[in-house]
Structure 1
Amino acid sequence: MFSPKKLIAENKGFILFMFGMVLVRSALADFYLVPSSSMYPTLVEGDRVICNRLAYDVKLPFTDVILSHVADPARGDIVTFSSPEDGTRLVKRLIAVPGDVVEMHDEQLVINGVPSDYQEAFDNPANHLTPRREYQGKQLVYQETLGTKQHGIIVMPERQAMRSFGPVTVPAGQYLMLGDNRDNSKDSRYIGFVKRELITGRVNRLLYSLDGDNYYLPRLERIAAKT
């Protein structure tokens, strides 16, 4: 006869191990599969990123309840968060912090009256562009400077997208997120600001990456790569 108590007793070590793994992923560090092209050229489809869940806050496991602050999210950070629209886990770049006045004019960001600097990048690998199966038009790659931080972005002049907005003031306790693939990202332009408690961690490094367009072979150059 089936006995739940016997089953638990015989598998106690495995059950404790699995519970510990779930607890670690909820409270300390998590792994996140990048499912779309919204963060090209920085993150590509098939990347598995490591998310530091203690980068900003200590939370009650399995909840969004903040127990204590560790550090403040900063402009330019890549973060994971739960979408305020439907709870979907997303990964985007944090562009503006509480109190910032943000606007965008024809793709150019202006934060607190200071325009961001852009330099066209000519040496970006072709496999870091939006896949041709998804978009066949022109893609331009720029290095965007936010304060002292630089990162790549992609713009698609032939695609319909929200290229201008604002000015808007970021409310207290909330943040503005954008995808690096600016014309192919559902971000704060569409889902609104993101509350701090919805941020689930910071991404600084990849674990590994599998190329779905090449029989899911590993991209060796992206193993343990920094973002």
Structure 2
Amino acid sequence: MKNFIKNNRGFIVFLLCFGFFRMAIADWNPIPSGSMRPNLLEGDVVLVNRIAYDFKLPLTDIVVARMADPKRGDIVTFFSPKDGTRLIKRIVALPGDQVEMRDEVLYINGQAAEYSEHKILREALENGENIEALRVTEAIGQNTRRVQWLNDVPARNNFGPTAVPDGNFLMLGDNRDNSADSRYFGFVPRHLLIGQAQRILVSADIKGNWLPRTERFGQGLAFD
């Protein structure tokens, strides 16, 4: 063992540095489901900045330094408060916000979102079924994103009003009728955040022919 370590010191140091970088600085996250469509697609691999909000000791939730506060509209990776599954969703409401949804319309602090640029199209479900979807631009103040609803798919599109507790966030998927998010598992405490998704590194059509989607390589994720 001593000889192995001596003869491979450079490689071992590289592995340790790489492991630290992934666990503490930056990581990547494959997109396995359609919960963030139309903005993130199955087969996208996104770059996650692990120190966007907090610098933590690797493999722990111990915060060494706070870097910045999460903002509405940020796409983040986090551990589900329900079962610890690693998820990726969008922050819709911040600590202290009053949030409500009435018949799919989102309200933040009493202000209703505005919906424009309506587009009807067909979307494929995980079971292979194709159904009609409505895709729109959702805007609250200066914060905008494309979201969609699926026709005749049951989802919790009414809740609240409720206040987001201190140190917690409300997460929603952009594919509102096909997303397990805060409507089902509740608010997400800050210590469960992993990092901010900032860019698509690579992408492949995993639901089709598995060919690379080169037009998505390096694509940034807009934050308005």
1:17-56 superposed matches below 5 A: 17-56=14-53
- How far off its partner does 1:10 sit? 2.2
* CA displacement 1:83-135 (0-9 Å, x = unmatched): 111111110000000000101011110111000111143398x7xx4457544
Give the equivalent residue in structure 1 for 2:56: 59
Give the equivalent residue in structure 2 for 1:102: 99
Contact 2:47 2:197 in 1 (8 A): yes
Q: TM-score, normalised by structure 2?
A: 0.93
Contact 2:138 2:146 in 1 (8 A): yes
Q: TM-score, normalised by structure 1?
A: 0.92
Contact 1:37 1:130 in 2 (8 A): no
Give the equivalent residue in structure 2 for 1:223: 217
1:15-164 superposed matches below 5 A: 15-122=12-119, 129-131=123-125, 133-164=127-158
SS of match in other structure, 1:139: strand
Structure 2 gaps of 5+ residues are none
Contact 2:120 2:132 in 1 (8 A): no
Structure 1 gaps of 5+ residues are none
CA root-mean-square deviation: 1.6
- How far off its partner does 1:138 sit? 1.5
The structure carrying a bigger strand percent of its residues is: 2
Give the equivalent residue in structure 1 for 2:191: 197
- How far off its partner does 1:147 sit? 2.5
Contact 1:204 1:226 in 2 (8 A): yes
Contact 2:120 2:133 in 1 (8 A): no
How many residues were matched structurally?
221
% same residue: 47
Structure 1 counterpart of 2:8, one-letter code: N
